[in-house]
Structures are given as C-alpha cells and as structure tokens.
Chains A and B, each alone.
Chain A
C-alpha cells in the first residue's frame, strides 16, 4: 500500500513537471507577443503603411516600401519555389519508389536543415556577383531555395494520401497518366498542398539572414525587381541595432506587422488543415 502511494506520488510529480515544462515553453511566446504588440501598437498609424522612411533625425515616415518589398520578394520566391516543389513532390509520390526518389527525398530533408545564412552566401555567389546587382530577384531565389524542401515534402505526403482507387479510376477511363495526375490526383490534394505552401511561405517571409547579401535594402521604392529592394525583416534588423529611439519604435511596429502577417498565414493554414482533418 505504501508502495502504491509512493508510486502515485512519483506519477503526480512527473505530471506536475511536465505541466511546468509546457508552461515554461509557452511563456516566451506570450512575453514576446505581448511585448511586440504593446510596443508596436504605439507606432502604428496610417503613415507607417503609406510613407517612405525618413532620413535620420527626422521623425515620422513609414515603411511602405519595405512592406511592399517583402510581399514582392515572397511572391516571387513562391512563383519560383512552389511549382518546382510541387512537381518534385509529384515525382516523389507518383514515380519515386526507386533509388532516385530515395536520394531526392533525402536531399530535400537535408536541405531543410541548411542554415539560411549559408543559402544567402550561395545566392550572393551565383546571382549577385554574376549579375553585378543586388536585387529582389536574388532575394527571391534565396527564399525559394529555403522553401523548396518543405513544399516538396508536404506535397509528396499529401499526394500519397490520395487513394489509389482514384488514380485507377482515371486511368481506367483511358486518360493518359499525366492528365490523370494533374487533373485528378493533384486536384484532390490541392487544398492540403495549399496549406503546406502557406506554411512554407510563412516561414520564409520572416527570414532576414538570406536577404542581407541578396535583396539588400532600399530607402526608396524599387523601380524593378532588378534593383536592391527593402524588406521588413532586414529593415527591422537595421533599425533594431540603430541608436535612434524613433527607429526603435519603428522597428517594433515593423515587428508587429511582420508577426501579424506571418502568424495569420500560419494560423489560417493550420486552421484549414484542421477543418479538413475533422471533415474526413
């Protein structure tokens, strides 16, 4: 009996320790989010979304160019990374039960662990130095490389979930395999893939390190994607390490905008996935 009580005690204390761990894990999120919200709200106004940055020492101004720059770079990155990722995912799920498929899967997994700064170095070497131009393009390629593994692997997983009976039915109607894959398999998995893509986009939208040597920065609007382009994360970094209170305020506001953007993408993607899982 005593022994049982002792075991109960252990059980309870382990439960307690685990709950404590959960709480400790969540505390930073709460701290960071409340701090960003409180600090960021104070600088949030219409100017922030419509004005260009002001020179040092002048108050006011906004980050309109950095907000648009981030959207532009991320959209470009998706335009490059998403189709490649999905098609590679199609290969893995439809034709990939072989040595090549295994190696690709492995490479994608390994690639997802490559530090983002290394990707920045790589793109600086292959694009910036060759085109002699820091550009939104270069930044987008760096982000595309970062999202590629995630998009590939989630696409593959979701395509695998499509029941074989659908494939067989389509083939049975006499359509070519490629059409069956595109019109039936891919379309069935599309909502899930969209979720994966949104998660990947959310991840790269906040990346700073790969943009430092690629998209660089810009005080103005960039006239084209061949020019250095401002982005929110780089702007936050520059402003955060600056000595100006005005810039610190703007950095907090920018952080708030970025966090809201990223979390919205993330939450809606997960919510959509959750709904689907519940529905099925």
Chain B
C-alpha cells in the first residue's frame, strides 16, 4: 500500500531546511522565466521592427500602399483584412456558440451534456492546417459554385456581395475562422454559465418562469461580462490564426467592400513573405506587423481575462 510514509522514505531530522529556500528559488525562477519570455518577445519584435517604426511612424498603419519594389510599406490592408475577417467570424460564431453553450448549461439532458461538449471541444483540437486543407478543396469550391452565386442573386445590390466569384476570399476566411473559434467561445461561455449560482435559477423558477425566461432574466445578466470575455477570447484567437486563413483568403493586399474579393491578414502576410523578404526595411515592416499583432492580441487577452475572471475562475 502506498502510504504517505513510504513515499517519503527514511526521515532525517535536519534542523531547518536549506533545501526549501533553494527549491522555492528554483520554482520561482521558472515562474519568472514566463514573464521574461513574454517581455523578451515584445522586446525582440520591437528591436527587429525599429527601422520600420522610425521610417514610417504612424503612416505605417494608415497607408494602404504595400509595395516592396519601391520600399513603401503600409499595413492598413492587412489590418483591415484581419479585422473584417475576424468580425465576420464573430458574426457567424457568436450566435451559434452562445446558443450551444446555453443549451449545454441550461437545457441539455444530463446524459447528453458531456458527449456534446466533448465533441465541440474536439473541434478545437483539429489542427489549423487540416481546416485549411479542407477549405481549399471543399469550402472554396462550394462557395464559388453554390453559395456566392446564390448570395449574389439574392443580395447582389449590396456592395458586400458583388464582384468576381472566386471562392477564395474574405467570406471563405470568415467562415473558416468562425468554425475555428466556435469551440473556444462555446466552452468558455459554458464555464461562465456554470458559475452562475443556482440560487438565482431557483428563485426565478419559483416565480413561475420558463427555462428560457430563467436564462434571460437570471443567467445572462449575471454572466454577461464573462460572456463578453469569452467572445473577446474568440476574437483574439481569430486575429492570430494563420495557416487556415492563409490557405483560403486569397492573399491580396487590397481593401474591398465585397466579401467575395480576396484579402490578406496580418498573420498571413508574415507567413507568406517573412522567409523571402530581402530588404532590411521590408523585413522590419513585416516584423512591425508581427509587433502590432502581438500588441493587439495581448491587449485583447488582458481585457478578456479580466472580464472572465469577474465571473468564473477557470483555466482556459
């Protein structure tokens, strides 16, 4: 039998334990290493991009001109592509994720809860590059041949749905991102709703509320800030996603109102051009995009954590 005593082995009485301070110091060193890594990342990015920072200043994020031949670099098209594809992903993913998490935490019969939640979490485990592969060979042809002509026919008067139908573009990017962030938002929202005290639900039931009313009056108000946090976490994931979106978004640095037209994201321009960029300024410009991406995702994450922490303390 594995007793406490047998695990500890022969005991030695050794006054005060010098080993303890050492042990604490050692673990503390590793803990500090995490902060140091994060700081070094920020420092390294800033260092590599200083040439571009100095050369373009604020112009860098206002200019749409990305022209390596003339050493002109403006990141606006990439910022636009990243933001719009992520927002599109949120528009698609948030209702679905919230619906799914409400069902999982409030409606689902007990025996179904775990398997369904499990399936949704598996979605998060499928590697990004596999989604990209599926996007190239299944999603994009489907969009080009079926969805985009249909949208064009129905809403062709809106600038959103005009232009050449290529399959590869903002719409494909948004959909792939939506698929990828749904599990994130769903599982965090579920954690948040789980943390809503049962007293609140019981109180509403006692007043004769239906389940839906309980959700609306008791669960959602209490969980609100946590849910916002969940959505922001999803947004952070969408902003930083690289492979899948690079494979389907079309990689063109242009700002276009149409969801059909190709676009480019910050992460994909780094993936595509980083190993190839020759000029120093070119390289610095790419590093600055990395820095921007880093800063934005870090900021979003901070906000999201604070919001989620207010409701539920969970490792996400």
Interface residues of A (CB under 8 A from B): 7-8, 10-11, 14-15, 17-22, 24-26, 28-29, 31-33, 35-36, 39, 84, 87-88, 90-92, 94-96, 100-101, 103-104, 106-119, 121-122, 124-126, 145, 148-149, 152-154, 156-157, 166, 169-170, 173-181, 183-184, 187, 202-203, 205-209, 212-213, 233, 236-237, 240-241, 248, 251-252, 255, 258-259, 262-263, 266-267, 270, 274
Inside 8 A of A255's CB, which chain B residues have their CB?
129-130, 133
| C-alpha gap A207/B271 in the complex (Å) | 13
When the two chains form their complex, are residues A21 and B48 in contact, meaning their CB atoms are under 8 A apart?
Answer: no
From 274 to 316 in chain B, residues with beta carbon under 8 angstroms from any chain A beta carbon are 274-275, 287, 290, 293-294, 297-298, 300-302, 304-305, 315-316
When the two chains form their complex, are residues A110 and B38 in contact, meaning their CB atoms are under 8 A apart?
Answer: yes
Interface residues of B (CB under 8 A from A): 4-5, 7-9, 11, 13-14, 17, 19-20, 22-24, 26-28, 30-35, 37-38, 40-41, 44-45, 48, 95-100, 102-104, 107, 114, 116, 118-123, 125-134, 136-138, 179, 182-183, 186, 210-213, 215, 233, 236-237, 239-243, 247, 267, 270-271, 274-275, 287, 290, 293-294, 297-298, 300-302, 304-305, 315-316
When the two chains form their complex, are residues B96 and A113 in contact, meaning their CB atoms are under 8 A apart?
Answer: no
Inside 8 A of A251's CB, which chain B residues have their CB?
133
When the two chains form their complex, are residues A87 and B26 in contact, meaning their CB atoms are under 8 A apart?
Answer: yes
Q: Closest approach, in angstroms, between the C-beta of A65 and any C-beta of chain B? A: 17
When the two chains form their complex, are residues A113 and B297 in contact, meaning their CB atoms are under 8 A apart?
Answer: yes
Given contacts A104-B34, A106-B305, contact A184 B24 (CB under 8 A): no
Given contacts A237-B129, A259-B127, contact A184 B19 (CB under 8 A): no
Q: Which of B22, B210, B241 touches A11 (beta carbons < 8 Å)? A: B210
Given contacts A36-B134, A262-B127, A270-B118, contact A122 B7 (CB under 8 A): no
When the two chains form their complex, are residues A26 and B120 in contact, meaning their CB atoms are under 8 A apart?
Answer: yes
Given contacts A10-B212, A107-B38, contact A122 B44 (CB under 8 A): yes
